[in-house]
Amino acid sequence: MTVRTYLDHAATTPVVPAAIEAVARQLGAMGNPSSLHTSGRAARRVVEESRELVAGLLGAKPSEVIFTSGGTEADNLAIKGAYGARVSPERNRVVISAIEHHAVLDSARWLAARDGADVVEVGVTAAGHVDLDGLAGAIDSRTVITSVMWANNEIGTAQPVAEIAELAHRAGALAHSDAVQAVGHLPVDFAASGLDLMTVTGHKLGGPVGLGALIARRDVGLTPLAHGGGQERDVRSGTLDAAGVAGFAAALQVAVSRRDDERARLEGLRASLVDAVLAGVPDAVVHGAADPGERLPGLLNVELPGCTSDALLLLLDAAGLDCSAGSACTAGVSRPSHVLLALGRTESQARSALRFSLGHTSTQADVDALARALPDTVSRARAFSAATSG
């Protein structure tokens, strides 16, 4: 069996032992957290203790934590829920950046198509920083909500979230940020950020898939996306997954406790990864912010001219290396990255990029494996591209 090299932690990262133990412990217990009997109350206790832990680690109040099935649901609830609760004839604008995750981007576009929302997509610089002047011009008295992700999932660039929240509040608008990639890698404090709404998820930081949260200030009204039992402040009905909640909280605790040391370690590995890529492919183009303080520590998006990402992925996969061409949420759909297009890259350039992302199990051996495989992979991909285009 081929030993695989995993360089796709931004898609999902291996579950940490503490989360596995927390999930296994709760899976062996009985009780619906909404039931009033002893077993139900025991399950509820696990949920509420986990809620308190999550809140404390993210700079929030326990009552602000709304558990969801993950980042996509939380983003949908933030954008659609806030819009539904606050829309009026005088206020129907949604302002987002052009490089948002599709969970935000498509939610906003759905509101435009279904409800006539005035959606404004603000551009970014070549490094992926949102155009703050453009954002300030777009946010006005008609704006219901603005959403700019804390750190981009494809290129890693981080945004000045507190400054963006202040711009929104000056116009009486709500501020939301998708912090899915940022949590565990960058300092994330909900209260200090000034945000009204923030999205987080478990499986990006070593927790189980299928559990995340929307952090929402108590005074922010949200229209539910689903109706039923009235759980989670009556905005997210459904039986709570006590085991998943416990695993999420445990993983978050591990990630936050190790964050500073891990950030330094991953920055070192990323620097080694950049050197390896440029040594093997000198004309490669690195995307995203150059300043380590303005990006995720373990993510590298690189353009490999003369190749297609599809061919590169298949060849690297055959060589035992896992990476991606962008967000895993759009896997299987062959189209250029909207993020790279927003940076000003052409369709051809955007179709030649790969994302390598490091995480808590990454080592120098993973970087070395890519260094050995990449030159031949690029050479074969270029030959294939030349033959098929001729």
Q: Is 367 exposed, middle or buried (0-12, 13-18, 19+ CB in 10 A)?
A: buried
The answer to whether 297 and 289 are in contact (CB under 8 A) is no
Query: Among all chains, which residue has been given the structure tokens 């189209």?
Result: 335
Quote the tokens at residue 192. 């200090």
Cα–Cα dist 293/185, whole Å: 11
The answer to whether 117 and 92 are in contact (CB under 8 A) is yes
Tell me whether residue 329 is one of the annotated catalytic residues.
Answer: yes
Neighbours of 172 (CB within 10 A): 14
Closest CA to 196 of 324, 316, 360, 82: 82
- C-alpha dihedral sign at 122, 224, 217, 258: negative
The answer to whether 161 and 294 are in contact (CB under 8 A) is no
Question: Coil, strand, or helix at residue 201?
Answer: strand
Angle at 319 between CA 314 and CA 320, to 5 degrees: 95
Amino acid at 46: V
Cα–Cα dist 148/379, whole Å: 38
Neighbours of 260 (CB within 10 A): 10
Query: Among all chains, which residue has been given the structure tokens 């993510």?
Result: 299
From 329, 341, 379, 380, the catalytic residue: 329
Cα–Cα dist 213/228, whole Å: 19
The answer to whether 184 and 256 are in contact (CB under 8 A) is yes
User: C-alpha dihedral over 203, 62, 255, 177, to 10 degrees?
Assistant: 70
Question: Which residues are annotated as catalytic?
Answer: 329
